[in-house]
Amino acid sequence: MKIAILGGDGFVGWPTTLHLSALGHEVHIVDNLSRRWIDTELGVQSLTPMDSIQERCRIWREVTGRTIRFHLLNLATEYERLKAWLAEHRPDAVIHFAEQRAAPYSMKTDRHKVYTVDNNVGATHHLLAALVETGINAHLVHLGTMGVYGYSSVGAPIPEGYLDVEIDTPAGKRGQQILYPTRPGSVYHMTKSLDQILFQFYAQNDGLRITDLHQGIVWGTHTDQTRRHPQLVNRFDYDGDYGTVLNRFLIQAAIDYPLTVHGTGGQTRAFIHIQDSVRCIELALGDPPARGDRVRIFNQMTETHRVRDLAELVARLTGARVAYLPNPRKEADENELVVDNSQFLALGLNPTRLQEGLLTEVVDVAKRFAHRIDRSRVPAVSAWTKEIGERVDRDPERRAVRAAS
Active site residue 192: yes
H or E element, residue 262: strand 259-262
Among 124, 149, 192, 257, the one annotated catalytic: 192
Residues 6+ apart with CB under 8 A from 396: 257, 258, 260, 323, 325, 378, 379
Query: What is the torsional sign of CA 317, 215, 34, 55?
Result: positive
How many CA atoms within 13 Å lie on the side-chain side of 284? 30
DSSP E strand boundaries for 275-350: 296-300, 303-306, 322-325
Q: Closest by alpha carbon to 189, among 145, 219, 153?
A: 145
- Biggest distance spanned by C-alpha atoms of the chain: 77
Active site residue 188: yes
Asked if 239 and 378 touch (Cβ cutoff 8 Å), the reply is yes
Neighbours of 135 (CB within 10 A): 10
Among 188, 202, 238, 257, the one annotated catalytic: 188
Give bridge partners of residue 173 from the DSSP assignment.
168
H or E element, residue 68: strand 68-72
Neighbours of 343 (CB within 10 A): 19
Which SS3 state, helix, strand or coil, does residue 111 take?
helix
H or E element, residue 84: helix 79-89
Active site residue 145: yes
Among 16, 17, 124, 145, the one annotated catalytic: 145
Looking at this protein, which amino acid is placed at residue 68?
I
Give me the active site residues, please. 145, 188, 192
